[in-house]
Amino acid sequence: MSSSTARLTFPPDFLWGAATAAYQIEGAVREDGRTPSIWDTFSHTPGKVLGGDTGDVAVDHYHRWRDDVRLMADLGLSAYRFSVSWSRVQPTGRGPAVQRGLDFYRALVDELLAHGIRPMVTLYHWDLPQELEDAFPSGSAAGGGWPERDTAHRFAEYAGIVAGALGDRVEMWTTLNEPWCSAFLGYGSGVHAPGRTDPAAALRAAHHLNLAHGLGAQALRDALPGRARIGVSLNPSAVRPLTPSAADQDARRRIDALANRVFTGPMLHGAYDDDLLADTARVTDWSFVRDGDLRITHHPLDFLGINYYSPAVVSASEADKAGRPRPDGHGASTHSPWPGADEHVSFHRAPGELTAMDWPVDPTGLKDLLLEYTAQAPGVPLYVTENGAAYDDKPGAGGQVHDPERIRYLHGHLAAVHEAILAGADVRGYYLWSLLDNFEWAYGYSKRFGAVYVDYATQARVPKSSAHWYAKVAAAGELPGEVAVD
């Protein structure tokens, strides 16, 4: 590998991190008082996860966390974003905490700090306690979970518990990770847990996730010291029209409303946009939004996390699309994650190289989003809280794992971050997804996003070429102007 002499320098206090999620790495699903989450139930339901894989063992981080932190330190990471398993610390989703669960996260944070690694805690990364999904507080025959308002209040209680346990150690907190996936993949298309397929329930879930964010952020404010910083990690879509036509522009508007503004409207501006309400009026009347809710959702943010993988390309609906797969990058389902939009919009695969997820590689989408949210939320610092790619990584004859495609991917996206900073975006850190190969949700163990290769049979960890490359970039605080991979 060789690089040019021109180098792109990042701010001296820029955080170089990696990210993980509890259900994807921890395992130990029945230890120390933990009870099932919706992902335990979903993954054990035949046909829901490729190969019948589950997160029962995952990559055994619950027992190997000291070695994993040492690995982070060896790679020179200055930050680590991880999620807390709600059902590990509050098994029923309500009531007192299990101290053994909290002790695991206390010890993890202490170890991170001892190695000079700054922790960022994510309170919710999709693993709702199953008892809350089974609870029907309003007597709904359809089920509980995020379509039920009570779940937002249970989340606030849980947020206060975790803040009380870790608040003296952790300064950076995110309430939710990618609530779009929780609402629209979990309750709309059904490709994520809990696997329900009700478009009205998906929109109710979206609102109650917004409410949970606001209530949870307030619970954190009440429990944490003043130095704490509270944000949320969204996965906004860089939505692009296929052509400049008015019809394709309107398709872009519809998907922007459902992919982005359904969350940024309430969180950043305290309102749902009129066009979103009009587009979905045949699905729901939005009567679940109560007086005062939007004041709660509009809780001041100390930072905004942006997760990005690839852009979306849309056009006005094509007459012959019936029965064709929907290339929106969100899994195959006969049910849509786009309530009120399917009859109006068609998706198209963006041009260019594809990752193993069949996601197009396009760093310009990340730059565009960083500049867009700089404009939407002036004065709010940004972090790239997830960015990465899956490739078909395999050890070579010497046991090493060479992944030049991922190096090219990371270089391109970090260069896009640098361009955004030069254009005025206040981006303060980058968290590579993911630290480790792991359980990739409905894809099971078939997709490898990690900078560190995991042999699932032995749980051996082998840093890939990209991990060593990223370590050098982090140590220097600068990116080669170009990268050529031999």
* Cβ neighbours, 10 Å, residue 49: 23
Rounded CA gap, 16 and 473, in Å?
Answer: 9
What is the length of the chain? 486
- Name the catalytic one among 111, 133, 148, 386: 386
**Class of residue 152 by CB neighbours under 10 A (exposed 0-12, middle 13-18, buried 19+):** buried
Residue 224 token pair: 């944490």
DSSP string, 236-272: ---EEESSSSHHHHHHHHHHHIIIIIHHHIIIIISS-
Q: Do 213 and 176 touch, CB atoms closer than 8 A? A: yes
Q: What is the predicted pLDDT for the residue at 325?
A: 75
Cα-Cα-Cα-Cα dihedral sign, residues 108, 109, 111, 112 = positive
Residue 148 annotated among the catalytic residues of the structure: no
* Cβ neighbours, 10 Å, residue 114: 10
Alpha carbon 171 to its chain centroid, in Å, reads 20
Alpha carbon 339 to its chain centroid, in Å, reads 21
Rounded CA gap, 128 and 480, in Å?
Answer: 41
CA distances for 289 relative to 184, 187, 188, 206, angstroms: 18, 18, 19, 11
Label the pairing between strands 172-177 and 118-124. parallel
Rounded CA gap, 242 and 468, in Å?
Answer: 38
Segments in the chain below pLDDT 50: 1-4, 486
Helix axes 99-114, 61-74, angle to 10 degrees: 10
- In the chain, the largest separation of any two C-alpha atoms, in whole Å, equals 66
Label the pairing between strands 239-241 and 312-316. parallel
Q: What is the predicted pLDDT for the residue at 1?
A: 37
Q: What is the predicted pLDDT for the residue at 4?
A: 45
Residue 386 annotated among the catalytic residues of the structure: yes
Q: CA angle, corner 138, sides to 135 and 143, nearest 5? A: 45
Q: Helix or strand or coil: residue 211?
A: helix
- Across 349-463, where does the E strand assignment appear? 382-387, 427-433, 452-455, 460-463
Residue 480 token pair: 């080669």
Rounded CA gap, 249 and 252, in Å?
Answer: 5
Q: Do 255 and 313 touch, CB atoms closer than 8 A? A: no
Q: Do 97 and 165 touch, CB atoms closer than 8 A? A: yes
DSSP one-letter code for 343: T
Q: What is the predicted pLDDT for the residue at 6?
A: 81
- Output the pTM of the full model: 0.97
215-241, pLDDT tens digit by residue?
Answer: 999 999 999 999 999 999 999 999 999
CA distances for 241 relative to 192, 307, 313, 347, 374, angstroms: 27, 21, 6, 10, 22
Residue of 157, 162, 173, 182 lying closest to 227 (CA atoms): 173
- Name the catalytic one among 133, 148, 178, 405: 178
Rounded CA gap, 445 and 422, in Å?
Answer: 38
